[in-house]
Amino acid sequence: MKRIGIDVGGTFTDVVVLDEESGATSWFKAPTDYGQPSDGIMHAFEESGVPAGDVSHVKVGTTLGLNAILTRGGARTGLLTTRGFRDVLEIRRTHRKKLFDLYETVPEPLVPRDLRLEIDERVSSDGGVVTPLDEDGVRRAWAELRDKGVTALAIAYLFSFENPDHEMRTKEIVLEEGGADVVFTSTEVLPVFREYERTSTTVIAAYVAPAVRGYVSELAARLGAEGLRAGRLSVMTNSGGAMSADAAAEAPVPTLLSGPAGGVAAARWLGERVGIQNLLTLDMGGTSCDVSGVVDGVPDERLDMEIGGLDVAYPTFDIHTIGAGGGSVAWIDSGGALRIGPESAGGVPGPACYGRGGARPTVTDANLVLGRYDVAYPLGGSLQLDLEAAKVAIDTDIAAPLGLSMEEAAAGIVRLVNAHMANAVRTISVERGRDARQFALAAFGGGGPVHAVDIARELQIPTVLVPPFPGCTSAFGAALSVTRRDLLRSVGRPVDELVVDELAVMIADLTAELGETLAGEGYEADRVSVEVWLNFHYTGQAHDLAIRLDGVDLTPETLAAAAEEFHRLHDRLYGHSFDEIPIELVTVRVTGFGAPDDPTMWWDWRASSGPERHESRGVYFESIGDFVETEVCLRAELGLGSQTTGPVVVQSVDSTVLVPPGWRATAHETGTLIVERDEEQQ
């Protein structure tokens, strides 16, 4: 049987095929269809040549829900909330991106004010009923929203996480009245405190659900028509796991950032097999660069994220994104300074060298002019690059206005984008109390490996890891992903006041619920693992830190150990801790994993063999500041265990690895290239 991972990107849809019996692993790319993303998936599926009946699982990373938010293309959504809390979505938080900007604007809520209606009901902070639910008021409010064309409804009542009865009864009434395509309660989506985040997340779930359900249903039907058995389609989650297509349709929020999460999951998996537990990941695509961290084999996670200026709260890999991709446009500002991004040429028309009508210079154009990319090597195996178009774009927009040669202008573009990416890596390393010299840099995406060593040298990172097929790493992560479910509950009590036995019962109940859910997806108890995370903060703090419990059984000893770890983590991140200020347990999160068998893999490099290449060519290296005659080899030519010293360019259809002088590349048995400083040349 074959396991297939798919990542739908802006330019290409990537596919990785894993043979679960032999361990053979290969990859394919197909153009993404913006209007019909499922068409791109089906085309990529056909390109793989794998009969659907031979597939054990298809796991898809998608940003469909994310795109619905960014383009405001979701369903017409209404909100029912407790009287007096109609404007929570607009009041938001006091956070400001620019502290002294009196004219700062924020995005309009997904639900306009006339579609946010108040209901007479009230639950106290301990779950007691203060004001009974006005059921007739619910019927009138829903009738008004329905008449205004609302088809998706969010219900978020005050303190419903302590007592969900009013929310659940409201949902029952709406379903009885009819007319709603989807109805979400905050109790189902995010049963934790913080009114704004809970309401915002519930609204987003309702807003994107119809689009996600339609997409998943269409894809499942088309794959089913090809012979894929029911229940074998899954969607990647924000936290690097996977959930069944049916579950994703019912709970779309965990899938909003599923694409970038796959790359982090794959980097962690490969790092573990190389013997490196601490990683900084660099995923440079066509539009953006995503960076994240892995410490002791555990990827950074957070419970809050921002999408299109809107807040979402759900467990997600902590990925920092900047506008620095291969398609990022180079331009000159009003002061005559060279700038890069955040505007991107995208995939269509794309960089000038794509030959699709783009005329503005980009990072990809600069790399091509500097010999870092090969004009004879089709991008993704199908897109022939136009060197002359790249030269004209850089000369016209950058070199001539600045009085530079074309090569100097291209070098400036590369130098500037490298500085942007190095600063992004500092954000998830140095700014979090981490010494970057104790980490390896995992570089992937179509552009990551050509820039990675320059960034590693700048930050004194000693080792760079390049996955087997860098341009398809997120799809590889999807193929490797395990099923994951998260359950959260608010506590909001000082640690000294907690009744440990009661908290232990809560954790045991959540663990049992996860076990039942995963069993329903076919995972026996011996294939299920559980983690318990406790979010603490000092009394009065607005933000909290997550600490993993030692085991799953809560005792006074394990709780005390977690609290002490919170002190240490706070001191490492912020330079201080407070022994005299009480600690509060904010939230309990129980995470369950259902793991498939993990076969030993070997790599089918035929997909990346490409055309014949030149023995050498002139390549610009930032560390030297000039062109150097450089050996060129194909990734498929590097036998496992072989070494090659820089300067060398390692080419494959999906990506190019640049190894400067003073560095060497070793082909590890995992298929990963390990690029390290060559001490003999230092």
Residue 606 has pLDDT above 70, yes or no: no
| Residues 455-481, mean pLDDT to the nearest whole number | 92
Confidence of residue 609 (pLDDT cuts 50, 70, 90): very low
What's the pLDDT at 174? 97
Close Cβ partners of 135 (under 8 Å, ≥ 6 residues apart): 169, 173
Q: Which of 113-122, 540-549, 583-592, 607-616 has the lowest mean pLDDT?
A: 607-616
How far, in Å, are 6, 281, 393, 415, 431 from residue 448 at the CA level?
A: 19, 10, 23, 14, 22
Residue 614 has pLDDT above 60, yes or no: no
Task: Give pLDDT tens digits for 281-291.
Answer: 999 988 888 99
Residue 411 has pLDDT above 60, yes or no: yes
Task: Give pLDDT tens digits for 387-403.
Answer: 999 999 999 999 999 99
How far, in Å, are 259, 390, 450 from residue 340 at the CA level?
A: 24, 16, 17
What is 417-453 written as a DSSP string? HHHHHHHHHHHTTGGGT--GGGSEEEEETTTHHHHHH
Confidence of residue 102 (pLDDT cuts 50, 70, 90): confident
Q: Which of 102-106, 277-281, 630-634 has the lowest mean pLDDT?
A: 102-106
Residue with tokens 């909001």: 492
| Residues 571-583, mean pLDDT to the nearest whole number | 91
| Residues 579-603, mean pLDDT to the nearest whole number | 86
| Residues 490-505, mean pLDDT to the nearest whole number | 93
| Residues 58-65, mean pLDDT to the nearest whole number | 84
Confidence of residue 607 (pLDDT cuts 50, 70, 90): very low
What's the pLDDT at 608? 45
Residue 361 has pLDDT above 80, yes or no: yes
Question: In whole angstroms, what is the distance from residue 488 CA to residue 588 CA?
Answer: 6
More confidently predicted of 45 and 323: 323
- Hey, is 506 helix, strand or coil? helix
Task: Give pLDDT tens digits for 3-15.
Answer: 899 888 766 788 8
What's the pLDDT at 81? 97
More confidently predicted of 343 and 380: 343
More confidently predicted of 178 and 260: 178
What's the pLDDT at 655? 86
Beta bridge partners of 234: 59, 244
Average pLDDT, the chain: 89
What's the pLDDT at 230? 82
Question: In whole angstroms, what is the distance from residue 6 CA to residue 44 CA?
Answer: 9
Question: In whole angstroms, what is the distance from residue 402 CA to residue 395 CA?
Answer: 10
User: Highest mean pLDDT: which of 45-54, 251-260, 445-454?
Assistant: 445-454
What's the pLDDT at 612? 54
In terms of C-beta density within 10 A (0-12 exposed, 13-18 middle, 19 or more buried), how is residue 218 classed? middle
Nearest C-alpha neighbor of 466 from the set 182, 673, 631, 649? 673
| Residues 232-245, mean pLDDT to the nearest whole number | 90
Close Cβ partners of 193 (under 8 Å, ≥ 6 residues apart): 161, 490, 492, 586
User: Highest mean pLDDT: which of 126-135, 216-225, 256-265?
Assistant: 126-135
Confidence of residue 271 (pLDDT cuts 50, 70, 90): very high
Task: Give pLDDT tens digits for 72-87.
Answer: 889 999 999 999 999 9
Helix (H) or strand (E) holding 175: helix 165-177
* Whole-prediction pTM: 0.87
